[in-house]
Chains A and B, each alone.
Chain A
Amino acid sequence: MKPVTVKWQRNLFIGTFIVPTFVFFCIFTIYPVVQALYYSLFDWSGMSENKTFIWFDNFKDMFRDPIVWRAVGNDYFLVAGKIVGIMILATFFAVALTRFNFKLAGFFRSIFFIPNVISVVVIGVLWNFIYNPQIGFLNAFLSLFTKEKVDIAWLGFTSHTIWMLLPPAIWAGIGFYMILIIAAIQNIPASFYEASELEGAGQWHQFRTITVPLVWEQLKVSIINIMMTTLNGSFVIVWIMTEGGPDNSTQVMGSYLYQMAFRQYHFGFAAAIGVLILVLSLITTIVLQRLLHQETVELS
């Protein structure tokens, strides 16, 4: 074979293996993302073909819209609540199931991951029934301790209803991060723990001086991942459980985008909310990277 044909064959192979995927990726991922940035500069009701270019007016409207601000607040409330709730419980479970010599550790690990394989829609419906005022689990449970039958509409408060969405979000998220942290702990050489045990160190001391510093990278990745998935995806559970209500009090950026686009047909405005989500998640990633990086220095 001539060298030219060898090279040609190699290139042909690379081409046939790279190009289809790339074309596909361009059409269904890159093109829509770029289009979204473009749409955010238009006043557009979607169905009619007349789009009006309005520069940054959608963004101006957005910053004047109190619901957007409330949505941003709710998003960060969920981010903070989920980071605290998930990280504490997931870390505790990961340590308990690897370091504490519990019987049935493998069994618990399998069970704890189950919520992560169930669809968010199903989780939303289940928790709706826990909170249901007439036939719900929570009210029936509370009624055991009261004379009158409790009939609180848990998802009907005009303020603080967003708190009710935190337990399902935490419940559904723990298993995934627990598995990540368990994998990180299992990578720590056993000799580290053995050495400190010889010195008579207790579990708490080992946790602080060995486990946390050595799985810090994984904790950091988990925290950033929780933030990103919350800003990008928490709206699904919000949409299933409250549709952003009552009176927009549980609206998050994603659910407001969905409502604006597919219920009210303000596609340009909705695209602008999408851009806001992108910008905020990038900024928050950078901020968290900085904050968590300093911690590592202090610990080591």
Chain B
Amino acid sequence: MKAGIRNPVVKIIFYAILVLWGLSVLYPLLWTLLDALKDNEQFLLHSPWALPDMPLLWSNFSYVWNKYNFNQYFLNSIVVTGGSTLLGLLLSASTAYVLARYRFKGSNALYLLYISSMMVPFILALIPLFFLMNSLHLINTAIGLIFVYASSVLAFGIFVLVGFFKSLPKELEEASIMDGASHYGTFFRVMLPLSQPGLVTVAIVNVLNIWNEYIVGTILINDPKHYTLPVEIGIMQAEMQYRTEWGPLFAALMVTIVPVLVIYILFQRKIASGITAGAVK
């Protein structure tokens, strides 16, 4: 039983605030799409909310895709995001399972070490990371970026998955051990399938974060062959000072946003449960 709001004036005002905020979120997205279909002249002569002239300049998209090499950057982003999400998941799930189910000397300390690393500002590690990757010859490589991203998502993954493994019933594992399965068999054949919801949640949150990551990418990659999408967006926007191609810039933003929007629409609930689980410290 919920009373809602009794005073109709207050109700209308509150509703108006919600609608306004909703517009403030949706309108920039629509604006990005519309501006991606304009040429420079339309930017300068018409107001920003003017609809693009006919015929629509869909060529802006093919222009960034081919001439700006967004086909390459898109692929790079997929490889890096996919690779680091999988590696991060493998590393955090294995440790999380052991920390949730096995007691051994130092297991608590290890857990605390991972969790407290979330308190340390990542930017502090940025300079040494650059020199470390340089000496490992991992600058300008996808694998270097994958290693750093996978490592940066460990603490979150371990935190959420330890909680998740602990919430699973112990009986199935005990039965599996009784049947003579090894520890490995029990983990891979019994626990992993059971923990799929938790794994998916962690994976989705990581995919979004890694796909959007900018600063590490900028520092570890300076060869255009290996740019990810956010890195190239940053460079494109800096170039706009002397090379005005606004339409293509907005087309590039669309190319970057659309994949995460699709993931968001498909996995909304997972994302909400992921951030809720990750923030209850």
Minimal beta-carbon separation of B236 from chain A (angstroms): 8
Q: Which residues of B contact A108 (CB under 8 A)?
A: 18, 22
Which of the 9-residue segments B3-11, B55-63, B67-75, B192-200 touches chain A?
B3-11
**Known pairs A46-B131, A125-B237; A180 contacts B275 (CB<8 A):** yes
**Known pairs A111-B22, A121-B234; A202 contacts B119 (CB<8 A):** no
Digitize B146-186: 1 where CB-to-A-CB distance is under 8 Å, 0 elsewhere: 01101110100010000000000000000000000011100
User: Would B279 and A221 count as touching, CB distance under 8 A?
Assistant: yes
Within residues 6 to 46 of chain A, which ones have a CB less than 8 A from any CB in chain B? 9-11, 13-14, 16-18, 20-22, 24-25, 27-33, 35-36, 39, 46
Minimal beta-carbon separation of B95 from chain A (angstroms): 4
User: Would B276 and A180 count as touching, CB distance under 8 A?
Assistant: yes
- In angstroms, Cα B122 to Cα A113, docked, is 24
**Known pairs A202-B6, A225-B279; A135 contacts B128 (CB<8 A):** no
- In angstroms, Cα B175 to Cα A75, docked, is 55
Q: Which residues of B contact A225 (CB under 8 A)?
A: 279
User: Would B264 and A114 count as touching, CB distance under 8 A?
Assistant: yes
Q: Which residues of B contact A124 (CB under 8 A)?
A: 237
Q: Which residues of A contact B120 (CB under 8 A)?
A: 33, 278
Most A Cβ at <10 Å: residue of B128, B183, B187: B128
User: Would B119 and A171 count as touching, CB distance under 8 A?
Assistant: no
**Known pairs A96-B18, A135-B44; A262 contacts B219 (CB<8 A):** yes
Q: Which residues of A contact B187 (CB under 8 A)?
A: 17
User: Would A112 and B125 count as touching, CB distance under 8 A?
Assistant: no
- Quick one: closest A residue to B268, CB to CB? A110
User: Would A22 and B110 count as touching, CB distance under 8 A?
Assistant: yes
Does A188 belong to the interface (CB within 8 Å)?
A: no
6 contacts between A and B (CB under 8 A): A18-B98, A29-B151, A33-B125, A112-B22, A171-B25, A233-B122
Does B66 belong to the interface (CB within 8 Å)?
A: no
Listed in ascending order, the chain B residues whose CB lies under 8 Å from chain A are 1-6, 11, 14-15, 17-18, 21-22, 24-26, 28-29, 31-32, 35, 43-44, 47-49, 91-92, 94-95, 97-98, 102, 104, 110, 114, 117, 119-132, 147-148, 150-152, 154, 158, 182-184, 187, 208, 211-215, 219, 229-230, 233-234, 237, 246, 249, 253, 256-257, 260-261, 263-264, 268, 271-272, 275-276, 279-281
- Quick one: closest A residue to B214, CB to CB? A121
**Known pairs A140-B49, A267-B127; A93 contacts B214 (CB<8 A):** no
- Quick one: closest A residue to B123, CB to CB? A254
- In angstroms, Cα B130 to Cα A39, docked, is 13
**Known pairs A33-B125, A180-B276; A136 contacts B48 (CB<8 A):** yes
**Which of B14, B94, B234 is within 8 Å of A96, CB to CB?**
B14
**Known pairs A136-B48, A140-B49, A270-B127; A14 contacts B154 (CB<8 A):** no
Does A100 belong to the interface (CB within 8 Å)?
A: yes
User: Would A9 and B183 count as touching, CB distance under 8 A?
Assistant: yes
- In angstroms, Cα B21 to Cα A20, docked, is 46
Known contacts A27-B151, A171-B24, then 19 further A-B pairs from the complex at CB < 8 Å, ordered by chain A residue: A14-B98, A21-B154, A28-B129, A28-B132, A28-B147, A29-B154, A32-B124, A32-B125, A36-B128, A102-B4, A112-B21, A120-B214, A129-B35, A140-B47, A179-B275, A180-B275, A240-B234, A240-B237, A274-B126
Q: Is the interface of B mostly helix, strand, loop or mixed?
A: helix
User: Would B152 and A29 count as touching, CB distance under 8 A?
Assistant: yes
Minimal beta-carbon separation of A160 from chain B (angstroms): 22
- In angstroms, Cα B152 to Cα A3, docked, is 39
- In angstroms, Cα B43 to Cα A13, docked, is 62
**Known pairs A93-B21, A194-B1, A270-B127; A119 contacts B211 (CB<8 A):** yes
**Which of B25, B121, B211 is within 8 Å of A114, CB to CB?**
B25
Chain A to chain B: the 9 pairs with minimum beta-carbon distance, closest first: A101-B4, A119-B212, A35-B128, A28-B151, A32-B125, A13-B183, A232-B121, A32-B128, A274-B124
Does A122 belong to the interface (CB within 8 Å)?
A: yes
**Known pairs A9-B182, A32-B129; A203 contacts B5 (CB<8 A):** yes
Does A71 belong to the interface (CB within 8 Å)?
A: no
Q: Which residues of A contact B29 (CB under 8 A)?
A: 114
Does A277 belong to the interface (CB within 8 Å)?
A: yes
Does A115 belong to the interface (CB within 8 Å)?
A: yes
Q: Which residues of B contact A28 (CB under 8 A)?
A: 129, 132, 147-148, 151-152
Minimal beta-carbon separation of B253 from chain A (angstroms): 5
Q: Which residues of B contact A14 (CB under 8 A)?
A: 98, 102, 104
Within residues 115 to 134 of chain A, which ones have a CB less than 8 A from any CB in chain B? 115, 117-122, 124-126, 128-130, 134
User: Would B279 and A180 count as touching, CB distance under 8 A?
Assistant: yes
- In angstroms, Cα B126 to Cα A232, docked, is 12
Does A214 belong to the interface (CB within 8 Å)?
A: no
Minimal beta-carbon separation of B56 from chain A (angstroms): 19
**Which of B4, B94, B233 is within 8 Å of A20, CB to CB?**
B94
Does A231 belong to the interface (CB within 8 Å)?
A: yes
**Which of A46, A111, A202, A221 is within 8 Å of B25, CB to CB?**
A111
- In angstroms, Cα B32 to Cα A270, docked, is 36
Q: Which residues of A contact B25 (CB under 8 A)?
A: 111-112, 114-115, 171
- In angstroms, Cα B57 to Cα A206, docked, is 54
